[in-house]
Amino acid sequence: MAEAALDLRGLGYRTGAAALVEDVTFDLHPGEVLGLIGPNGAGKTTLLRLMAGLLRPFTGEVRLHGRPLPDWPARERARRMGYLPQHFAPHWDYTARELLRLGLERGGSAEGLEDVASLHGVAGLLERRWSSLSGGERARVLAASVLATRPGVVLADEATAALDVGQSLALMGRLRMAAREGAAVAVVVHDLNLALAGCDRLALLHQGRLQALETAASLAEDARLDAAFGVDFVRVRTEGGLLLTARGGG
């Protein structure tokens, strides 16, 4: 397998006495889409923020292309790594062009803005202000801005949370496109079926620990999934692959 774009070694993070992430080790490879799944409070978002360098780990380290994250100059790191937040609400009413420009400029210049815009299907939105964009348009503009420098590592934190099913699939498609171009993609996904359909490998987190790291197809069959979520999943085989649904409660 190719050299890891991002490797995590013994990563730990805590607030007060509570360990939010404990001893997590894995590699993220160019060309793959890795889904981080787990029940609420499992530490997915914390782990992703550690991977993005937005939080400093208490133990262990994250290496980007073999070099520890804190050793990268901020600009260099920003160009090589893209981060899609869970909720994005700019404080000022930027136009799509301005947002794209801010994203592109981390590479040093704003050249090729029009090309990036057409690549991500936002060429027609460039002069529109954020407040006038629909949810799906916003997701496209943000993704275009974050992916503008073609970062080698893309980290998305439940970026599909506020999107409808079509928009979620479209965003996953864009992340897949980035992976095809060689990016290593890690994405926190709440919807297990979306994770199964859109990811190559899945990392299952529970209580801050990595419970399993398998291909999506094999983790779907794994009993650890049921244990982590505390439910018995019904596995429905379809033409498109396995579908998970939780057995009714009560």
Partner 1 sequence: MIAWLLPPLGLLAGLMLGAVTLTPAEAWSLLADPTQPLGQLLWQWRLPRVLAAGCVGALLALGGAVFQGVFRNPLAEPYLLGSAGGAAVGATVALLVALPLPQWLSLPMLAFCGAWGATWLVLALARLADGTSVATLLLAGVAVAALLGAVRSFLMLALSDETVSLQAVLAWALGGVQTPSWPELAVLAALTAAALALCLALARGLDLLGLGEAVAESFGLPVRRFVALAVLAGAFVVAVSVVWGGLVGFVGLMAPHLARWTSGPLHRGLLPRAAAIGAGLAMLCDGAARALLPPAEIPLGLVTAAIGAPFFLLVLAREARRG
Cβ at position 124, least distance to partner 1 in Å: 19
Cβ at position 73, least distance to partner 1 in Å: 8
Cβ at position 152, least distance to partner 1 in Å: 14
Q: Using the 8-state DSSP alphabet, how is residue 112 labeled?
A: T
Residue nearer to partner 1 on the CB measure, 17 or 89: 89
Contact positions toward partner 1, by CB under 8 A?
Answer: 49, 52-54, 74-75, 77-79, 81-83, 85, 88-95, 98-99, 102-103, 105-106, 146
Q: Which residues contact 157 (CB under 8 A, 6 or more apart)?
A: 45, 48, 49, 83, 84, 85, 86, 188
Residue nearer to partner 1 on the CB measure, 131 or 238: 131
Cβ at position 146, least distance to partner 1 in Å: 8
Closest CA to 215 of 223, 203, 226: 203
Residue nearer to partner 1 on the CB measure, 101 or 174: 101
**21: which strand partners?**
13
DSSP H helical segments within the chain, as ranges? 44-51, 74-80, 96-104, 113-119, 135-147, 165-180, 192-198, 216-220, 223-229
Question: Count of alpha carbons within 13 Å of 131, Cβ hemisphere only?
Answer: 3
Residue nearer to partner 1 on the CB measure, 105 or 226: 105
Q: Which helix (H) or strand (E) holds 243?
A: strand 241-246
Distances (CA, A) of 28 to 182, 216, 222, 249: 12, 15, 21, 36
Residue nearer to partner 1 on the CB measure, 42 or 81: 81
